[in-house]
Amino acid sequence: MVAAPEPNPPGPDGDAPGGWLVQLSGTDRPGITADLMTMLDVLEVEVQDVEQVLVRGFLTLAVAISDPPAGTQALRDVLDRIAADHDLRIDLSPVPAGSGARPSVDAVTVLGHGFQTPLSPAELAAIAGGIVASGGNVDRVVRLARYPVYAYEFRVTGADPLALRQHLGAAASALRLDVALQPAGLERRAKRLVVLDVDSTLIQDEVIELLADEAGCLDEVRAVTDRAMAGELDFEAALRERVRRLRGLDLDALDRARSRVRLTPGARTFVRTLKRLGFSVGIVSGGFTHFTDRLAEELDLDHAEANVLEVVDGHLTGEVLGAVVDRRRKAELLRTFADADGIPVNQTVAVGDGANDLDMIAAAGLGVAFNARPVVQQAADTTVNVPYLDAILFVLGVTRDEVEQADERDPTSVGHDD
């Protein structure tokens, strides 16, 4: 039978002035939605809204309809028949007045702590509580992924943007979660260019330190690198100082260093998925073309720019040729790549970890701090602090199912790279 709570009284003839909300729930089986819509068509009602969710085989289907010309009892009879045929519970209630308004919608993405570690009820409650405290309502929660990390998306309406950001920021800080807040809708899914830093972002290494290890001056170079990435030193001056210490290295040493480069876990999956979804992908590096050219070829990247080491007679001179790819230059290159691809800058994503990436992150439509220094995390639109680069896909609204479906269409795919 149809349960029929009526929080808003119907009109004098039993009609609901705002229409009716039909809610079906139960074990999913083929034909439920088709049968319901066929019956509603016979009743000549107008379907005003519809939402369907399936969780582990349990169906929830809600349909807002106009009042049926044949009357409410005819509607109840039809719904009783569907409930009996499909073993469902069906609730019928008047649509609340004014519920057709469409407030702004935000997408809140929450990433788990580590490899396949579920988010706890308390953590999910903290996110939901922050949404309520900001005056918002959770319209829908969808699990985006459970591999390599758990990821959920909350669709939020009616929240005060500043309060929402503050409450979610407090929850993220207290629980050490990654929480991304973006306007939902076309602008989010319209992102079409992703530009990544290389050292400690696309790869796990700092290439100049690999070279310094070959030259026997690793400790001195690492100290300068740390100060430069923290924003304590001018990047160009720091780069030239470190490169001078590499004077005399031969090309065999560069090749040995290049062979030691380790991609960040999930890097291949991240780039491969973006490319299949129609994105352009580029890299900008304060490192060197000897490394980035190979990465661009290996990952089939669309753009790659880095510094050029001067080589004379097969040995490094300790100098850099041309303009240095520094903080300002990275932002310029992001705009150059976007122009070349015919993509507005607000449809770009920048990913980085150090102070050298700050201008690029600020210029992009979405700036992502990936396992970044504190100064970058404070400036970026969102942070990702799990060690899997492909977790950024979930911030972009891509689900794990979409990643795997893309892989299934390519017989050469090897899935997530560890």
Enumerate the active-site residues.
197, 199
The sign one gets for the Cα dihedral 66, 71, 73, 74 is: negative
Distance separating alpha carbons of residues 57 and 35, to the nearest angstrom: 18
| DSSP characters over 253-307 | HHHHHHHT--BPTTHHHHHHHHHHTT-EEEEEEEEEHHHHHHHHHHHT-SEEEEE
Are 154 and 134 contacting, i.e. CB atoms less than 8 angstroms apart? no
d(CA 58, CA 322): 62
State the burial class of residue 356 (Cβ atoms within 10 Å of its Cβ: 0-12, 13-18, 19+): buried
Residue 199's Cβ-side half-sphere holds a number of Cα atoms within 13 Å equal to 24
Contacts of 188 (CB under 8 A, 6+ apart): 107, 182, 396, 397
CB 107 within 8 A of CB 142: no
Task: Confirm if 364 and 349 have CB atoms less than 8 A apart.
Answer: yes
Q: Which two tokens stand for residue 243?
A: 């490169």
Helices 207-215, 235-244: inter-axial angle, 10-degree rounding: 30
Please give the C-alpha separations between residue 118 and each of 113, 140, 269, in angstroms, as whole numbers.
8, 19, 21
Q: 34 CB contacts (<8 Å, ≥6 apart)? A: none
Q: Is 65 helix (H, G, I), strand (E, B) or coil?
A: strand
CA atoms within 13 A on the CB side of 219: 0
